Amino acid sequence: MPIFTRRVRALAVTLAATAGLAVPMPAQAAPSKAFVALSDVAPSILQDIRYDTRHNFVGRRIDGYRQPLCILTRQAAEGLRKAQAELLRQGYTLKVYDCYRPQRAVDHFVRWAKDLADEKMKAEFYPDVAKDRLFADGYIAEKSGHSRGSTMDLTLVRLPPPFQRPYVPGEPLQACFAPRDQRFPDNTVDMGTGYDCFDPLAHTDNPAITGTARQHRDLLRSTMAAAGFRNLPEEWWHFTLNGEPFPDTYFDFPVSRGSLH
């Protein structure tokens, strides 16, 4: 992309943010120096970028994910580095499932949700939710805070990280809220449900989550809060940086190192 074009688009983002406008940005690159690869800031954080794979609620690689890469605003990445330092002292590491999410990926989710015949991943991710309720119940929306670059989905892994086998497309699916030893064998600690579980049990403070899983949720939330992040109450894995730098801008550059400059 020509340097002049990049500068014009970066200026448009700044002006939109200043004016409080919600502006989708079709640019093929992130604003200069505003976004970073998390691995360059906090390389010890594990990455399992599910939307770059077929192991997600759609069942295919999502539009806009060209590499299994966590991209965040620089401020959000630095906040995660702080949280990671605290968790390492306690014998844990963070693992991210999703970070910046381009608008085209959100649009993919919306198209999928409207196709009521496509339920191939229902048994794992939304076994008790009718697909025609996904919008009304708030599981799918036309905008996502992830597209602003300072929201991420993450969990905890006990050190040293256990082996995690790859997902095999077409393998039998288990409900995301089944007992831990019956769910997909993620190498994370028990959080009471798997990632992207469309169920009330995924609500951070659901009283049915007790014991070790409750302790893990509380540890993740308190550590992230101390590092400057707030949790989405409906999803134990979802956090947003307080004072995010682009609160009203929804970006659409692809998830790729080539988008960073």
Write the Ramachandran bin of 91: left for phi over 0, alpha for psi from -120 to 50, otherwise beta.
Answer: left
Q: Is 216 annotated as ligand-binding?
A: no
* CB-based contact 100:146 (threshold 8 Å): yes
Q: Is 108 annotated as ligand-binding?
A: no
Q: Is 25 exposed, middle or buried (0-12, 13-18, 19+ CB in 10 A)?
A: buried
State how far Cα 56 lies from the chain centre: 12
* CB-based contact 148:250 (threshold 8 Å): yes
| Helices 211-226 and 74-89: angle between axes, nearest 10 degrees | 130
Active-site annotation holds for 124: no
Q: Is 136 exposed, middle or buried (0-12, 13-18, 19+ CB in 10 A)?
A: exposed
Q: What DSSP character marks residue 169?
A: T
Catalytic hit among 119, 171, 235, 244? 235
Contacts of 42 (CB under 8 A, 6+ apart): 77, 80, 81, 84
**Which of these, 149, 159, 46, 42, lies nearest to 96 by C-alpha position?**
46
Q: Is 190 annotated as ligand-binding?
A: no
At residue 80, φ and ψ (nearest 5 deg) are -65, -35
Which residues are catalytically annotated?
235
Annotated binding site: 146, 153, 238
Question: Could you tell me which residues are annotated as the binding site for Zn(2+)?
Answer: 146, 153, 238
